[in-house]
Amino acid sequence: MSALVAERLSHWFGSDPALDSVDLLVDRGDHVAILGENGAGKTTLLRILATAIRPSSGKLEIMGLDALRERRRLRGRIGYVAHTPGLYPALTAAENLAFFCDLRGADRERVPEMLDLAGLSQVARKRASELSRGMQQRLAIARAVLHDPLLLILDEPDASLDAEGPELLVRVMKDRTTVLATHDQALATRLCQRTVVLRRGRVFGAGSRLRVVQ
Amino acid sequence: MTRYFYAAGGAVLLMLAAAGMIFFFAPEDALQREVQRIFYLHVSSAIAAYGCFAVVLLGGVVYLWKDSLVADRLARAAALVGVVLTTVTLVMGMLWAKPIWGTYWTWDARLTSTLVLWIIYAGYLLVRRLAAPGRQAARFAAVVGIFGFVDVPIVHFSVTWWRTQHPGPVVINDALPPEMLATFLFTMVCTLILAGVLIAIRYRIETLLDAKPVAAVVSAPTQTEPAR
Amino acid sequence: MRFATVAVAIARKDLMSEWRTRELVPALAQFVVLALVIANFGFQIDSHNASAIAPGVLWLALVFAGLIAFGRAFAAEREQATLEAMLMTGAQPAAIFAGKALAAGLLLVVCEAVLLPALGLLFGVDVSAGLVGAVLLATIGMAALGCLFAAMVAQLRARELLLPLLTLPLWIPFIVAGGQAVQSAMGGSGAFDQAVKLLLDFDILFVVLTSLAARFVLDD
């Protein structure tokens, strides 16, 4: 059973087309990079794959479940890092993680573990608003793997990463099916064995460790 | 498109016939004199408006339940027609009130709840406008439509419970002489038909608006097999 | 039960945030006191009309404070993209909604703890337990409705305009029944018991409806 099967995913906002008939097949353990310029539809695609929004048309199956019907169940097994970190500024790093633990029904003991993984143990008691952008991004990544998800979806995780960031990415992606979106071809080839290029909502090309000529 | 033209023409003719009945057939009211003739259209449009909002409610519920675009489209069309009819009701009511009570407005149950009705569905149309077109707009509008429909009788009840000033429901008590009743029933039927035709026409417009070209992507090559 | 855990966690989080930033409650408290002061001038309050006008002033102040409080409950989430983060945990949207409404309602209650004594003091009216009970009852339904539409409006443009437009028509029954209850409690004529029963009925109806509607408003 493949981890993710997307068939003819299309999405439009009103009459504005965002995705046009995207097919995607991801096997377990695959690391797939979605490359494309701004506005190519990467974020829209990722949000659909993460079950944040429903596609206007098309089919999506994740881990054998129909993603359009079993969204809530799937969300328990998916880790998603969105474009903006989505953290609570007034809460500390530890409290942010604890809160999301509570929402997921996960054990709070995971919190110090995750903070350690992300290299944030020193700033556990600092409010999220006081953390640097890079630290916030790391915290968001840690949050995404709190519940040990089977599928990881990352929207431009490199966007505000600091020096420790890429190493964290490698660690969380290890042995975990991942789909990530990025501009950065170097990062894509470093982290992922496969790349898919999106252009104006359509799949423009795909391959393994593709060297893409724009 | 011509069948819409004929339907519209027919509805207009019916309304003219109703107008004729109102002015030439129905007798003048002993107390309120000529002004009372407003009542026929005023009450008819109120009832037609409620009918429209019932369609909006139904469309909203079916949309939320079955994800039906047709239901949403119908709700859109009916909401617009309903707001127009409610405006007509309010204006006629005010024109009627001034000579009869000496004031354009009072805060009794019926007027208040009609005004609230208008505000709610004006809000409905605004939400449709401002939301992301497609699913978000349909979802939000359905919720507004459902709450709005539930709210109006509750507002009416609340204000009645508190005080009232509207003249008694003329239709229900048999004090209406047969000519007036007949005129009223005929006008109401004509107005309902008019409302129906307007909704049908608007529905057609919405269908055309929905079908605007989608994903007209130009030169990117199409993929032939799933990206692997 | 997951529902309760989620709702309580969210309510706690919101209250904790408010405690730390202290943005909303002081502003609301100042606002309602100011509203009372202005009412004094606007309505030309004297010892004769004070008790007649007091119920109206109470509801006016409460309605505007409510709009601010509930509007804020979701505006902040939207800005920080945290609403989506909460939904992505797989928590039930109705539970998320319940937590938010609970917290926002409690914050409004804190504001009422300032409003009611101030009203009693400045308008010379008797703030009885019955009055307080009626106001609390109304707050429940108003919080449910206010938060539902605040959640909706937070996802749209022109939210300051739209929130009152959508919410006020639905608050009218609460204001009518609540106004009657407050007036009766202050020693005016009227059916206090009936009014309170109405408030309770409205609460039940709208809490149920908003809970059912929550998933269509919060989630896609």
pLDDT at residue number B1: 64
Q: Check whether B77 has a pLDDT greater than 50.
A: yes
Tokens representing A30?
Answer: 């695959």
Q: What are phi and psi of A130, to 5 degrees?
A: -90, -5
Same domain, A26 and A48: yes
Q: Is the CB of A103 less than 8 angstroms away from the CB of C20? A: no
Residue B224 touches chain A, beta carbons under 8 Å: no
Q: Distance, in angstroms, between B31 CA and closest chain C CA?
A: 34
Residue B223 touches chain A, beta carbons under 8 Å: yes
pLDDT (mean) for B60-77: 94
The structural domain count of chain C equals 1
* Chain B neighbors (3+ CB pairs < 8 Å): A, C
Q: Distance, in angstroms, between C21 CA and closest chain A CA?
A: 7
Q: What is the pLDDT along chain A (214 residues), one digit of tens a residue?
A: 788 999 999 998 877 788 988 999 999 999 999 998 888 889 999 999 999 999 988 999 999 999 988 899 999 999 999 988 889 999 999 999 999 999 998 889 999 999 999 999 999 999 999 999 999 999 999 999 999 999 999 999 888 888 888 889 999 999 899 999 988 888 888 888 888 988 888 888 777 644 444 3
| Residue numbers of chain C with a pLDDT score lower than 70 | 188-190
Residue type at A92 in one-letter notation:
T
The structural domain count of chain A equals 2
Which residue is listed with tokens 């904790």? C16
The structural domain count of chain B equals 1
| Nearest residue, CB atoms, B217 vs list A17, A25, A206 | A17
Q: Distance, in angstroms, between C162 CA and closest chain B CA?
A: 7
Same domain, A133 and A163: no
CB C188 within 8 A of CB C174: no
CB A8 within 8 A of CB B222: no
Question: What is the pairing mode between strands A202-208 and A194-199?
Answer: antiparallel
pLDDT at residue number B173: 39
Residue B169 touches chain A, beta carbons under 8 Å: no
Query: Considering the domain boundaries, does residue B221 fall inside one?
Result: no
How far apart are the C-alpha atoms of B90 and B155, rounded to whole Å?
17
Query: Considering the domain boundaries, does residue A82 fall inside one?
Result: no
| Nearest residue, CB atoms, A75 vs list C13, C81, C89 | C89
Q: Over pLDDT 90: what percentage of chain B?
A: 47
Helix, strand, or coil (residue A35): strand
Same domain, A16 and A70: yes
Q: Using one digit for the tens of pLDDT, what is the confidence trace for B82-127?
A: 999 999 999 998 888 888 778 888 777 788 889 999 999 999 999 9
Q: What is the CATH classification number for the domain harbouring B184?
A: 1.20.120
Indicate the pLDDT class of residue B212, thresholds 50, 70 and 90. low
Q: Distance, in angstroms, between B144 CA and closest chain C CA?
A: 8
Indicate the pLDDT class of residue B174, thresholds 50, 70 and 90. very low
Question: What is the pairing mode between strands A31-35 and A177-182?
Answer: parallel
Residue A80 touches chain C, beta carbons under 8 Å: yes
Structural domain of A56? 1-77+152-214
How far apart are the C-alpha atoms of A126 and B176, rounded to whole Å?
77
Structural domain of C82? 2-218
How far apart are the C-alpha atoms of B134 and A14, rounded to whole Å?
5
> SS3 sequence, C27-82?
HHHHHHHHHHHHHHHHCCCCCCCHHHHHHHHHHHHHHHHHHHHHHHHHHHHHHCCH
pLDDT (mean) for B70-91: 95
| Nearest residue, CB atoms, B147 vs list C165, C202, C209 | C209
Same domain, A195 and A157: yes
Closest CA to A135 of A99, A176, A100, A89: A89
Indicate the pLDDT class of residue B38, thresholds 50, 70 and 90. confident
Chain C residues within 8 A of B147 when measuring between CB atoms: 145, 170, 209, 213
Q: Is the CB of A75 less than 8 angstroms away from the CB of C88? A: yes
Q: Check whether B137 has a pLDDT greater than 80.
A: yes
Give the sign of the dihedral formed by CA C22, CA C23, CA C28, CA C34: positive
pLDDT at residue number C190: 67
Q: List all residues of chain B from 82 to 141 with a beta carbon under 8 Å from chain A.
A: 132-135
Same domain, A69 and A159: yes
Structural domain of B117? 2-166+180-210
Select the residue from C83, C152, C175, C194 to test the B interface by mutation, using most B Cβ atoms within 10 A.
C152
pLDDT at residue number B175: 65
**Residue B204 burial (CB count, 10 A):** 15
Residue B208 touches chain A, beta carbons under 8 Å: no
Residue ending a domain, among A130, A148, A166, is: A148
